Structure 1
Amino acid sequence: MADDSADFGHVPVLLERCVALLAPALTRQHPDGSGTVLVDATIGAGGHAERVLTELPGVRLIGLDRDPSAVQIARTRLARFSARITLARRRYDDIIAVLNESGYAATESVDAVLFDLGVSSMQLDRAERGFSYAQDAPLDMRMDPDTSLTAADILNTYDETALVEILHRYGEERFARRIAAHIVRRRARQPFTSTGELVELIYQAIPAPARRSGGHPAKRTFQALRIAVNDELESLRRALPATLDALKVGGRIVVLSYQSLEDRIVKRVFTDAASSRTPVALPVELPGHRPRFRLVTRGAEHADAAEIDRNPRSAPVRLRALQRVEPGPPGARRGD
């Protein structure tokens, strides 16, 4: 099937594979005759959602995104499916609240969930958003423009120790101390206002031999600031356990991550869920109790060479999928 995603500023990654992994959970017949429900926790431009809604006419979609421009683009793109969709401008760690508001229970009420993590092409390609180190723009990096904290706030007000921690923890930047020291000295003369100023400083802070390998020298710093501004990793840590609770037996969750910090969280949550034999509401393992989830993918899957050639931004993707195979304890929530 032809895909016109580029018209909406984003080419969906691993589209065919995502649909193939979600389809077994979304084509089932429920005893009560109800249709199946997909939660797209990061609706973006709606590319994955459009394919599912087109190919699987019995599916109802609940889509979330914190970016108001993404929600509007998705609403326009999916307008022909308006009777089958609910869109909410919310972060994915609000998934339980959104389900409740949409008439679904917090536990075992949906058939599939998709997370397409990280920054989108729409955000990278709009210079004024400040996500890209390739274009000079205001130091913003907010996925939700109504939140208060910006990248400029962090650079101009956080102390040197906090800056080192952000660059090291969220960017895995080995020159975090050098960059932080340069930031503090530079802002004492003049506050940071643009991405170009930051890129120039990073070139000055990182030794010349290191600038010639490992990709763009500013990549890790920009990643770290974006994650800090948007609280991305903590949001993911909160969202995944709640999402697993929301899956019906036979339901599936598919997650696309684009950097190792996200993927480690997903891998840990999925592996723990697939290996744990103890119901979360009970302090000891029950004899004969089986894990409530199973891994659908063996390790992380990646885009092939053909897809990377068509869409270079798919190169770092890691895909993992998990399925619920047993109900949870009556009246219990994961983590209670």
Structure 2
Amino acid sequence: MEIKSDGTYVDLTLGRAGHSLEILKKLINGRLICFDKDNEAIKESYKKLQKISPNFTLIQNDFRFLKAELEKLGINEVDGILADLGVSSPQIDDPTRGFSYSQEGPLDMRMNQQNSFSAKDIIDNFDESELTKILIKNADVKLANLVAKAIVAKRPIKSTSELVEIIKNALPAKIVREKNPAKAVFQALRIEVNDELGALTAMLADATQLLKKDGKILIITFHSKEDSIVKNFFQKQNYVDPRLNKLPINIQKIWKQKIIFPSEDEKLQNNRSRSAKLRVVKKLSI
């Protein structure tokens, strides 16, 4: 993203401020607005950002409320928007947060720890049909019905490691050998706990209204569900009724989209980047 020194930019997924720090360094008279649901992210990032410049505002809220929060600040248009979707590395690496299927921890998975609804609420209370639906909708879990049935039979379930064993024991050995099936199940539960796909859809609608002409939206996705939402959203924004093509008028698309994949060096340096996909969407001047 080309940063204008006097521009207004939004980082929708602050995390530990990796992206925000680089943006803020380039803002002389501009402004940076940062969102994150995680209180720890807000506190830690504030310490880093204040050393660079005072030209930033931190908002602890879901980015589904992008437009409403900016309106409170008197902002009705921005030059650029960035979203690095999914769970952050500090959240995964902290076993007490319950995001990791490779570490012992509670069945939590809340990005905003002020919320009461957690993964344990889903695992211990949703019926087999509801669990199956969640696993398929959010992560295309293989043989989701078998996983859901095993969860219902074994509950209450106390920890992430206990859940991992239940998942593995519920599925044929061939599937377990191919790829740890817990990865997709944990993804499905995390997305449901935080309503990530619903928030993404709401945010995209707000972002397109707020972006100035020639502005850009950068979205990093890590799995097919969220990437499909982004891709399909902008395809619909650019949709032109084929019947209009027969008319003697020039119909131009509003959004230009390109995809950037991680380099081999990036994949080697950061294993988590292997599934990443960066979509850069520009609002055209027409």
TM-score norm. by structure 1 comes to 0.80
Equivalence for 1:10:
none
Q: What RMSD, in angstroms, separates the aligned Cα atoms of the two structures?
A: 1.8
- Cα deviation for residue 326 of structure 1 reads 3.8
Report 1:168-247 matches (<5 A).
168-187=136-155, 191-213=156-178, 215-247=179-211
Q: Distance in 1 between matches of 2:4 and 2:263?
A: 27
- TM-aligned CA deviation for residue 57 of structure 1: 3.3
**1:47-62 equivalent positions in 2, closer than 5 A:** 47-62=18-33
Which residues in structure 2 correspond to 1:160-171 (within 5 Å)? 160-171=128-139
Answering whether residue 286 of structure 2 is matched by residue 321 of structure 1, we say: no
Count of residues paired in the alignment: 282
Aligned equivalents of 1:82, 1:73: Cα separation in 2: 15
Partner of 1:266: 230
C-alpha contact (below 8 Å) 1:291/1:326 kept by paired residues: no
For 1:248 and 1:124, locate their aligned partners in 2 and report how far apart those are by CA, in whole Å.
35
What stretches of structure 2 of length at least 5 have no aligned partner? 242-246
Structure 1 residue runs without a partner (length 5+): 1-21, 29-34, 278-284, 328-336
Shift of 1:286: 11
Aligned residue in 2 for 1:303 = 262
Q: Distance in 2 between matches of 1:85 and 1:56?
A: 10
| Distance in 2 separating the partners of 1:71 and 1:133 | 25
Cα drift, residue 293 of structure 1: 2.0
For 1:172, give the aligned amino acid: D
Q: Secondary structure at the match of 1:153?
A: helix
1:101 to 51, 60, 72: 72
How much identity, in percent, do the aligned residues show?
37
Q: Given the alignment, which residue of 104, 107, 116 partners 1:148? A: 116
Residues 284-333 of structure 1: per-residue CA shift (max 9 Å, x gap): x99444322222x1xx3211110111111111101101111147xxxxxx
Equivalent of residue 312 in structure 1, options 267, 271, 280: 271
The verdict on how the C-alpha distance between 1:286 and 1:251 changes in structure 2, with shifts beyond 3 A counting, is farther
Runs of 4 or more, structure 1, over 4 Å off, are: none
Q: State the TM-score, normalized to the length of structure 2.
A: 0.94
In 2, the alpha carbon distance for the partners of 1:41 and 1:287 equals 38
Cα 1:292–1:207, aligned 2, differ >3 Å: closer, same or farther? same
Give, in angstroms, the shift of residue 102 of structure 1.
1.4
